[in-house]
């Protein structure tokens, strides 16, 4: 991320909701964005970029609590952002976001836009069940050799619980047509945790869905190419489906 | 082994061009140009009749030596003349083009030819970075991203947006899809390790141009090894060599023709000012360059260029024997041949195609 950007300072505090205590980091001003984070690692540049444009609340989903956490997410989001917000999730967090809007559907839906970064709940790649922690880790990045400034994964993180598909999600694909929010589904072009058909499945099943492919990234595109993902996500949250319209001038020299 | 005819569509008076590149448009006579394209297409048609199984097209700019700035336009025209040959796009220069546009052209060509397209990707010769203002230091990365985007654009089932390093499109939904599913056969034209490896890892063929067999051999060896590591083996159609050819009834006649050329060899295809050539080379290599030092060492306006030479020169037997070396040592299964050597008339090229088709082609088909 460009070094001349203003420094973003996050405030960190616990949020009690749905009988759970969730860690929350907050920064920025503007449209409220609830970000569901399943892995606190590698994406700070991306968060900083979002916080420069939005009022960002990052809810940390402890991996062991991700199952059945949707009511707590709904309640926390309303406590933090009121009755209208933009819901973003990455990896396991994207799955939670999807389950939240599908299984706890509201009318009107408070998630004015839904952004799913590398969701694995629908159409995960085959043969993902019996991987070791190292094997899961090797699937996170397309270029781990270029990613040396963030350090190792935090100790104790169980990647399987974050990344592995769940039998309880088997009904989600059939429910995708019920998603009411304008949706952006983001995938790395080298993500081996999802099947090749997954982007088309989201695009073809969710009524107002756009798919963004992030070149040369694996399962954590926001970590590997934060500028590219922030550009798409920011544009989508601000403009929803009209983000397809280019508003940048092509004039070189007036 | 199969033979491919390079549809260069050379301007008939290309031997009279001034030295240097680009060739000034003032050298262009529309009457000769129209005739040249018609003759070029006649050559493609005749090559098909003589047993060539591919016709290839190559993007080159600002010169009438290979007058196919948009090879897709040329391939579409030839597709209506030639109803059997494969149309090998070897190919579009990806860093110079919008990859989505290339994907659309590929889709159209595969449809109008009913599945006869062979796709090829390459970066382009150093001079061509100037054509649309590509930074030479970025061409390689643009090539890689362009290839990924094209392949995705031709295979994705639903519209998508692309967040690239060099390309950003919010709506990609290419029509028509290729007839050949999931993708037409694809050739990577390269000599560099990283692109050869990319070809191997992505199930693509290898195309190598103009170098002697002993230089191609290690490239082919790496390619086959990396294909093996990736779990597949290329077919003969996936190893292509493009070479310059002059064929005559006898070896002596061929040598006589060569010796009659100025300097005893074909003119360099690309001639650039020395300073420009060195700056491009430095940028492509990621090296620092000192313009003042370069200029101090060279006469102003000094033009440099290297003749590619003739890979195949001689009688049909001699040429077939040389081609067998490429087959045996490099696994070449398709020989893509550039017949339109400088100074040759259309009639002479047609006689060469006939001689090759009758005397050499039956031999190489046995390999």
Q: Do A212 and B163 lie within an 8 Å CB cutoff?
A: yes
Q: Do A211 and B171 lie within an 8 Å CB cutoff?
A: no
Question: Which residue in the set B149, B156, B163 is minimally distant from A232, CB to CB?
Answer: B163
A242 touches chain B (CB under 8 A): no
Above 0.90 for ipTM, yes or no? yes
Q: How far is B198 from chain A (nearest CA, A)?
A: 13
Examine residue A51 and state whether it is found in any structural domain, yes or no.
yes
Looking at the structure, do residues B151 and B227 belong to the same domain, yes or no? yes
Looking at the structure, do residues B141 and B283 belong to the same domain, yes or no? no
Closest alpha carbon within chain A to B153: A213
Looking at the structure, do residues B190 and B67 belong to the same domain, yes or no? yes
Looking at the structure, do residues B336 and B357 belong to the same domain, yes or no? yes
DSSP B359: I
Looking at the structure, do residues B200 and B278 belong to the same domain, yes or no? no
For residue B66, the domain's CATH number is: 3.20.20.30
For residue A207, the domain's CATH number is: 3.40.50.1820
Examine residue A159 and state whether it is found in any structural domain, yes or no.
yes
Looking at the structure, do residues B110 and B196 belong to the same domain, yes or no? yes
Examine residue A253 and state whether it is found in any structural domain, yes or no.
no
Whether B183 contacts B166, CB under 8 Å: no
Chain A partners of B168 at a C-beta cutoff of 8 Å?
231
Q: What is the Cα–Cα distance from A240 to A237, expressed in whole angstroms?
A: 5
- Domain with B280 in it: 271-304
Looking at the structure, do residues B215 and B312 belong to the same domain, yes or no? yes
**Phi, psi for residue B305 in degrees, rounded to 5:** 180, 155
Task: Check residue A170 and give its pLDDT.
Answer: 86
- Which tens digits make up the pLDDT trace of B263-278? 888 877 778 888 888 8
- Domain with A230 in it: 11-241
Total domains in the fold of chain B:
2
The enclosing H or E element of B220 equals helix B213-229
Looking at the structure, do residues B157 and B290 belong to the same domain, yes or no? no
Total domains in the fold of chain A:
1
Looking at the structure, do residues B292 and B342 belong to the same domain, yes or no? no
Chain A partners of B158 at a C-beta cutoff of 8 Å?
199-200, 203-204, 211
Chain B partners of A204 at a C-beta cutoff of 8 Å?
157-158
pLDDT band at B11 (very low <50, low <70, confident <90, very high): very high
Task: Check residue B138 and give its pLDDT.
Answer: 94
Closest alpha carbon within chain A to B144: A216
- Which tens digits make up the pLDDT trace of B178-231? 999 999 999 999 999 999 999 999 999 999 999 999 999 999 999 999 999 999
Looking at the structure, do residues B189 and B287 belong to the same domain, yes or no? no
Residues recorded for chain A: 254
Chain B partners of A245 at a C-beta cutoff of 8 Å?
170
Examine residue A235 and state whether it is found in any structural domain, yes or no.
yes
Q: What is the Cα–Cα distance from B92 to B71, expressed in whole angstroms?
A: 7
Q: Do B165 and A232 lie within an 8 Å CB cutoff?
A: no
Closest alpha carbon within chain B to A222: B163
Examine residue A249 and state whether it is found in any structural domain, yes or no.
no
Looking at the structure, do residues B55 and B148 belong to the same domain, yes or no? yes
Percentage of residues of chain B with pLDDT beyond 90: 81
Looking at the structure, do residues B148 and B241 belong to the same domain, yes or no? yes
Of B254, B287, B304, the last residue of a domain is: B304
Chain A partners of B161 at a C-beta cutoff of 8 Å?
210-213, 232, 244
Examine residue A6 and state whether it is found in any structural domain, yes or no.
no
Chain A partners of B148 at a C-beta cutoff of 8 Å?
189, 215-216
Q: What is the Cα–Cα distance from B52 to B248, expressed in whole angstroms?
A: 18
Question: Is the model's pTM score more than 0.90?
Answer: yes
């Amino acid at each position: 991320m460009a070094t001349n950007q203003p420094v973003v300072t996050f405030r960190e505090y616990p949020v009690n909701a749905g009988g759970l205590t969730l860690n929350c980091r907050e920064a920025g001003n503007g449209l409220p964005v609830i970000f569901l984070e399943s892995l606190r690692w590698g994406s700070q540049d991306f968060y900083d970029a979002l916080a420069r444009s939005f009022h960002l609340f990052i809810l940390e989903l402890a991996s062991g609590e991700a199952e059945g956490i949707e009511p707590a997410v709904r309640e926390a989001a309303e406590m933090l952002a009121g009755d209208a917000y933009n819901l973003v999730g990455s990896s396991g967090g994207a799955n939670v976001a999807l389950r939240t809007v599908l299984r706890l559907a509201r009318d009107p839906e408070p998630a004015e836009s839904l952004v799913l970064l590398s969701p694995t709940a629908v159409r995960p790649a085959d043969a993902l069940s019996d991987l070791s922690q190292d094997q899961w880790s090797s699937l996170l990045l397309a270029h781990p050799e270029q990613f040396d400034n963030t350090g190792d994964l935090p100790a104790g993180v169980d990647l399987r619980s974050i990344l592995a598909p769940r039998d309880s999600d088997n009904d989600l694909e059939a429910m995708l047509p019920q998603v009411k929010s304008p949706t952006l589904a983001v995938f790395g072009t080298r993500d081996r945790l999802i099947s090749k058909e997954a982007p088309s499945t989201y695009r073809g099943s969710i009524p107002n869905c756009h798919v963004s492919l992030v070149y040369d990234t694996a399962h954590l595109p926001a970590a590997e190419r934060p500028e590219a993902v922030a550009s798409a996500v920011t544009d989508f949250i601000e403009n929803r489906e009209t983000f397809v319209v280019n508003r940048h001038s092509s004039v070189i020299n007036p | 082994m199969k033979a491919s005819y390079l549809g260069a569509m050379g301007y008939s008076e290309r031997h009279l061009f001034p030295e240097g590149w680009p060739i000034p448009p003032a050298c262009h006579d529309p009457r000769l140009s129209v005739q040249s394209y018609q003759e070029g297409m006649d050559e493609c048609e005749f090559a098909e009749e003589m047993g060539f199984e591919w016709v290839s097209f190559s993007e080159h700019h600002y010169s009438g030596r290979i007058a196919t700035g948009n090879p897709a336009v040329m391939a579409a025209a030839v597709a209506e003349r030639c109803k059997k040959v494969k149309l090998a796009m070897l190919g579009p220069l990806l860093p110079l083009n919008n990859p989505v546009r290339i994907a659309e052209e590929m889709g159209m060509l595969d449809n109008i030819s009913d599945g006869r397209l062979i796709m090829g990707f390459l970066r382009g010769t150093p001079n061509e970075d100037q054509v649309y203002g590509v930074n030479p230091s970025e061409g390689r990365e643009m090539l890689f991203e362009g290839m990924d985007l094209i392949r995705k654009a031709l295979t994705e089932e639903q519209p998508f947006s692309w967040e690239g390093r060099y390309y950003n499109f919010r709506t990609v939904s290419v029509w028509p899809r290729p007839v050949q599913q999931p993708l037409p056969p694809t050739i990577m034209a390269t000599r560099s390790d990283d692109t050869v490896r990319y070809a191997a890892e992505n199930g693509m063929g290898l195309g190598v141009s103009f170098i002697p067999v002993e230089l191609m051999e290690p490239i082919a060896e790496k390619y086959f090894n990396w294909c093996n590591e990736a779990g597949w083996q290329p077919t003969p159609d996936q190893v292509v060599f493009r070479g310059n050819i002059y064929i005559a009834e006898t070896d002596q006649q061929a040598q006589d023709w060569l010796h009659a050329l100025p300097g005893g060899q074909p003119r360099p295809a690309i001639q650039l000012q020395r300073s420009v050539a060195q700056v491009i080379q430095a940028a492509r290599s990621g090296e620092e360059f000192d313009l003042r030092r370069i200029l101090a060492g060279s006469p102003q306006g000094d033009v440099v260029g290297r003749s590619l030479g003739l890979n195949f020169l001689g009688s049909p037997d001699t040429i077939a024997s040389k081609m067998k070396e490429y087959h045996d040592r490099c696994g070449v299964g398709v020989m893509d041949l550039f017949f339109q050597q400088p100074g040759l008339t259309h009639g002479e090229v047609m006689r060469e195609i006939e001689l090759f088709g009758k005397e050499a082609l039956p031999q190489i088909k046995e390999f």
